[in-house]
Structure 1
């Protein structure tokens, strides 16, 4: 299947480009559902909280592997962290310049790395609290709570940034994460 296709008349103007493969989209939305469930609905003392935590850790582990063997835009090399790129994107946002990125933007890449690392810390500290070695030790629980708070802040920032960048660049990023195609102006 070609990476490019002509947009049909019912889709937004511009070229539709296949960016997000089914694994990336399934990972993303599964992670959204599991994290939201554990953060908002499930009692943290319940077995379900632990099960969802293990599912999240499995998803993160699978995504890390996919970051090395997956499709072009899923691979980490396609969105290596770049402070200069992030500063340039921030300057574009302030000045009103628009630079369209096929895959992750530089700021988006930093957010992905942030979330993967934060979720790994949440999972590791949560698991530590279930072991005999760390039973009753306070720092794993404190680390867990700090990391969860940081993840929640990061998720809110991510959602706000996706909405803002979608409007600013005229690229519907949520739709792309559902369909796999970015409609580039």
Structure 2
């Protein structure tokens, strides 16, 4: 019996309700903060503070959570990320049940960028840092930089979805992905 064929229709739970709620809540916070920037500052600040709370909870879950929530499950070193991207360029990358090495690096980049945006946004509300040029500049640079990261993230999700015949957006909604075959990385 072909194991690959037998697992093709079987779905397994990968993303916990927490991870999915975190992901889509952060998407909402970033969108609201970006769209309200310079327009509705109370909404902008609330979205920023909410994003900061979400990032804090994700850091805790990444260290103390279980399964695919934990950082050690999907964070790889630069060499592994480089090798994975080389395989992508050759069209020879393995399918990962959780985040692939490039996806893990993107998670860290997105978390760091949003944390930096939230921190510099908060700093601008304090007497000490209000009106300090580099704080404002950093907030703006990171605020625009997140758009680049989001574009790369969405592009990577679409590429992986096409290459592996799997709707990763749906997986982040339902939490389920196709069961791993023997050649996949679980």
Q: TM-score, normalised by structure 1?
A: 0.88
> Aligned equivalents of 2:9 and 2:36: distance in 1?
40
3-state SS in 1 of match to 2:72: helix
Maintained 8 Å contact 1:172/1:183: no
3-state SS in 2 of match to 1:58: helix
Confirm or deny that 1:168 pairs with 2:171.
no
> Aligned equivalents of 2:167 and 2:79: distance in 1?
25
1:52 aligned residue: 47
2:184 aligned residue: none
3-state SS in 2 of match to 1:165: helix
> Aligned equivalents of 1:172 and 1:84: distance in 2?
28
1:3 aligned residue: none
> Aligned equivalents of 1:44 and 1:133: distance in 2?
24
2:103 aligned residue: 108
1:10 aligned residue: none
1:23 aligned residue: 18
CA shift, 1:68, in A, is 1.3
Q: TM-score, normalised by structure 2?
A: 0.88
Confirm or deny that 1:139 pairs with 2:134.
yes
> Aligned equivalents of 2:178 and 2:37: distance in 1?
37
> Aligned equivalents of 1:75 and 1:180: distance in 2?
15
1:65 aligned residue: 60
**Aligned in 2, Cα 1:36/1:76: closer, same or farther, shift over 3 Å?**
same
Equivalenced residues, count: 175
Report runs of 4+ in structure 1 exceeding 2 Å deviation. 40-45
Gaps of 5+ in 1: 1-5, 8-12
> Aligned equivalents of 1:138 and 1:18: distance in 2?
47
> Aligned equivalents of 1:101 and 1:76: distance in 2?
15
CA RMSD in angstroms, aligned pairs only: 1.7
2:115 aligned residue: 120
> Aligned equivalents of 1:144 and 1:114: distance in 2?
15
3-state SS in 2 of match to 1:102: coil
> Aligned equivalents of 1:35 and 1:26: distance in 2?
14
